[in-house]
Every structure is written in structure tokens, then in C-alpha cells.
Amino acid sequence: MKLDHKLHDIEIAQSITDLSSDKLDSNEEELYTPPLNFSMVDNGVFRSGFPDTANFSFIKTLGLRSIVYLCPEPYPDHNVEFLKANRIHLFQFGIEGTKEPFVNIPEITIREALQVVLDVNNHPLLIHCKRGKHRTGCLVGCLRKIERWCLTSIFEEYQRFAAAKARISDQRFMEVFDASGFKDIPTSPCSCIKR
């Protein structure tokens, strides 16, 4: 008799566990997972690593109009379909990823990408490369120079995302980047312009 009660209690405990698991599975569908290294740069401007299908529900919550993609590789078909379905415009600036210390980042490409980022008609927008560290970090660092941030703050932000993989060549690029061509831009262009 005691054995029957214990078996019955085990069966009840198992069915409660099964119900909890079912509930957990349905709640998991409601979770939003941001892409690697996701962060807000300024009002209407975000940065991250490459978003995959697990990040699409999160990305939808941002209400993006544009994505600035900094890699030369073609955008994957499933990502292109997501962009089409959500009417998000893709701007691709193919900057080669490199670990070489003396390979230059193409300044003209960074300037073209900055024009897209500074145009509030493209906001809200997401800037990304593969991991959201180097190419994205350089573009955001140059944006910070336009916003008149001090180099110490620019480098701290870059290092927060690049961590142990911070590159002196990237920091040198940001340091020598000439932001004077953007002189008509307010101190914080993204947050000062009304949408």
C-alpha cells in the first residue's frame, strides 16, 4: 500500500514537471534574444554582431528602417527574406575583415557609411559586421569623433566591445580620422535632430 502511494506521488510529480516544461517551452517562444554585442549607440542607432534567425523577433521590436552591413560577403538568403518581410533597407559596405596590423581600413567606405548613419531618414538603423567588434567599432568610433567625443571615451567604448581583441590599428584609424568634413553636424547628430 505504501509503495502504491509513493508511485502515485511520483506520477503526480512527473506530470507537474511535464506541465512546467510545456509552459517553459511556450514561454521560450516569447523570449527576445539580441544579437551578439548588441547595444544602443544613440537615439535610433544600434550596433551588434551578425544577427541570425534566433535574433529576428528581437530585431522586429526595434522597428528598423535600415541595416548598415560592413562585411563584403553576401547577406544570407534567410536574412534578406527577413529584411523584405519587415521592409528594412540594407546598405552594404564591404570592408574586409583582417587581423593584419598594417592593413588600412578604407576611409572612403567609412565616410559613405557615416553618411547613411547620419541621415535620420534611415533611422532607426542597426550597424553590424560579423562580431560587432572591429569594423562596427571603427564606424561607431568615427561617429563619436563627429559628435566631438574625446579620444579616451572613444577608445574605452571600442575596447568594451573588442575586449582582448582590441587592435591598435583600429584605434589609430579612429585617432587620425578627419571629422572636419562633417562640420555642419550638431554635437550629437542622432539625438538632436527631430524625427
Say which DSSP state 63 is in: T
Cα(15)–Cα(18) distance, integer angstroms:
5
- With a CB cutoff of 8 Å and minimum separation 6, the contacts of 70 are 93, 94, 95, 113, 127, 128, 129, 135, 136, 139
Out of 71, 129, 138, 190, the active site residue is: 129
Distance CA 57, CA 36 (A): 14
Q: Which H or E run includes 57?
A: helix 56-61
Residue 141's contacts (CB-CB under 8 Å, 6 or more residues apart) are: 154, 155, 157, 158, 170, 171, 173, 174, 177
129 annotated active-site? yes
The phi and psi torsions of 176 (rounded to 5 degrees) equal -90, -5
**Residues known to be catalytic:** 129
